[in-house]
Amino acid sequence: MTIRQMLRLGGLVALAALSLHAPIGAQQRDEQFYWPGAFNWKFLSTYPEGARLFNAFDYGHAVLYERLYTTDGAETDRSLEREYRYLTTDLLIRPPRFGIAEEAVMPAYAKLAWRAKQMFDWAHILHRQIYDIYSDERLTRAEQDAQIEQVTDYYLSRKEYAFLDVPKSMELMDDQYFSKSFREAYPNFNGLIWAYHWLQVGLYEPLIAGQTAAERKTGVQATLGRFWSMLEEAPSRMPREMPMTSGIAPLFSAAHPRAAVIFDNLHMMHDIISDILHNDVVPMAKKGEEINAALDEFQNPTTNVMTMEMWRNMADHMGGVDAMGGAATGILKVVQAPAGGHGMMHDAPAAPAAPKPAAPMSHDMGAMGAAQPGNAPGTNLMRDLHHRMMQDTVIHRRMMADTTMRRLMMEMMAGESGEHQAHPAGTPAPRPAAKPAVKAAPKAPPRKPPTPAPTKKPTPPPTGHDGHGTKP
């Protein structure tokens, strides 16, 4: 054996010894990649305007947690205002071409809650693979459904990082001692996060409802337009309740209920972590522990769960789809927040609301230009011209970047919504009023607030580009 070989062997032995003596508290950093398939990356190549927007969403989630964890009081107010302005006037309009290295954006939070970061990343991969499958025009609908179930199995096989496919109680998000802190303090930023979640599940609907590639493309553009309208006059047009997948994406939820439940559990956990990080009732030294306890709960199938029937009706108990940002498909109308604001009961029966007429599910722009009773002369031609222009990605991008044009577009769409009230064939009929909910599983004992202990927040690393951390 040569000296060089001996040195190499000695180095390997030393590395092995170091790994055996790693600190007990060290968190293993393991990652797992996409389920292989020819469909991967199809969403990006077919719908770049949607895929790139999700890259910006990843930055928004990451920077929010970092600022909540590393700042206090007025400093938090200033930093979140700055980030909100940056997101809504810059990054969302010019989203990154590639995925965000979230650990670089939220280094302090990643050290605190690596497991949470990994669970979110793993669920986001499931999101993206499903978009890819629906975007692959070579697959039949039956083949798409089979592939989606396969990638869902793959997701659930990674038990250490998978959210349950069993619906968890909304009380976990709304009724704990730290709950609702973030949304009450920062309604605009919270509304932006909920708008993200609305689009993440709502974008499945036009991909399912469209009968041709052209209809799917037009439907995706229309759903993206609805998202952009939410950012006008914030937070009045933003969701005022967490968007439930069963309400916003009924076609997807019926076809793939396991994945739909996983995404609702993921989105609840997003809110829970925001509250834990923001609420001073949770001491700094206990925030990581509280986050891990919440993650444990979302991987426990025996406590705080709902039946599937309760989950399907949950949107009705929370004020209906309009309270969650509105329908993702059809003639899209502007949804304004009522004067009453929040306050719906979640796991208790709601007073039956007057049924609302369902919006048409048509993405046939030619049919939309057909004559309608009461239309002013030229309205049909203008509508047809508008929809044809919006199919051009360059025109669409410029319109979305111009706030005045976006407002005019949404006013026109709001005017159209009153002309189309019939429920067309091929769309799900409105569900009957929900039955009183009956708990299907025992509740875990409520977590009590720990005794506060003043602890200094971690010092954030130096930032770049005007305080926005690592520029994506």
- Rg of the chain over Cα atoms, rounded to whole angstroms, equals 23
> What is the distance between the alpha carbons of residues 393 and 360, in angstroms, rounded to a whole number?
24
Structure tokens at 359: 């919006």
CA distances (Å), origin 286, targets 63, 81, 107, 226, 453: 21, 26, 18, 39, 9
Give the residue-averaged pLDDT of 274-283.
Answer: 98
- Number of neighbours of residue 151 by Cβ within 10 angstroms: 21
Give the residue-averaged pLDDT of 7-29.
Answer: 45
Angle between helices 141-157 and 114-135 (to 10 degrees): 170
Instruction: Assign 458 a pLDDT band (cuts: 50, 70, 90).
Output: confident
What is the per-residue pLDDT for 363? Answer: 38
The listed range with the strongest mean pLDDT (12-21, 231-240, 342-351, 453-462) is 231-240
Where do the DSSP E strands lie in 263-356? Answer: none
What is the per-residue pLDDT for 429? Answer: 40
Residue 53 or residue 431, greater confidence: 53
For residue 88, is it left (φ>0), alpha (ψ between -120 and 50) or beta? alpha
CB 172 within 8 Å of CB 165: no
What is the per-residue pLDDT for 376? Answer: 44
Percent of the chain with pLDDT over 70: 64
Instruction: Assign 34 a pLDDT band (cuts: 50, 70, 90).
Output: confident
Task: Give the burial class of 457: count Cβ atoms within 10 A of its Cβ; 0-12 exposed, 13-18 middle, 19 or more buried.
Answer: middle
Name residue, tokens 């040195």: 7
Q: Picking from 47-56, 251-260, 383-392, which range would have the lowest pLDDT averaged per residue?
A: 383-392
Is 374 a residue whose pLDDT tops 50? no
CB 69 within 8 Å of CB 113: no
Q: Picking from 63-77, 237-251, 376-390, which range would have the lowest pLDDT averaged per residue?
A: 376-390
Give the residue-averaged pLDDT of 64-91.
Answer: 98
Instruction: Assign 380 a pLDDT band (cuts: 50, 70, 90).
Output: low
Residue 377 or residue 450, greater confidence: 450
Is 430 a residue whose pLDDT tops 90? no
Give the residue-averaged pLDDT of 105-118.
Answer: 98
What is the per-residue pLDDT for 32? Answer: 75
- Number of neighbours of residue 53 by Cβ within 10 angstroms: 23
| Four-CA torsion 190, 196, 202, 203, nearest 10 degrees | 170
Give the residue-averaged pLDDT of 92-110.
Answer: 96
CB 252 within 8 Å of CB 204: yes
| Four-CA torsion 136, 139, 142, 147, nearest 10 degrees | -60
What is the per-residue pLDDT for 28? Answer: 61
What is the per-residue pLDDT for 334? Answer: 55
Residue 378 or residue 460, greater confidence: 460
pLDDT digits (tens, 9 = 90+) for 129-183: 999 999 999 999 999 999 999 999 999 999 999 999 999 999 999 999 999 999 9
What is the per-residue pLDDT for 449? Answer: 73
> What is the distance between the alpha carbons of residues 176 and 178, in angstroms, rounded to a whole number?
5
**Dihedral (CA of 248, 279, 54, 255) sign:** negative
> What is the distance between the alpha carbons of residues 465 and 198, in angstroms, rounded to a whole number?
29
List of residues 6+ apart from 254 with CB closer than 8 A: 428
3-state SS class at 62: helix
CB 285 within 8 Å of CB 453: yes
What is the per-residue pLDDT for 333? Answer: 58
Query: How high is the mean pLDDT of the chain?
Result: 79
The helix or strand, by DSSP H or E, that contains position 76, with its residue range, turns out to be: helix 73-86
pLDDT digits (tens, 9 = 90+) for 297-342: 999 999 999 999 999 999 999 999 999 999 999 865 555 554 444 4
Give CA angle at 443 (441, 445), nearest 5°: 155
Instruction: Assign 388 a pLDDT band (cuts: 50, 70, 90).
Output: low
Residue 282 or residue 454, greater confidence: 282
Percent of the chain with pLDDT over 90: 62
Is 419 a residue whose pLDDT tops 70? no
Give the residue-averaged pLDDT of 412-420.
Answer: 50
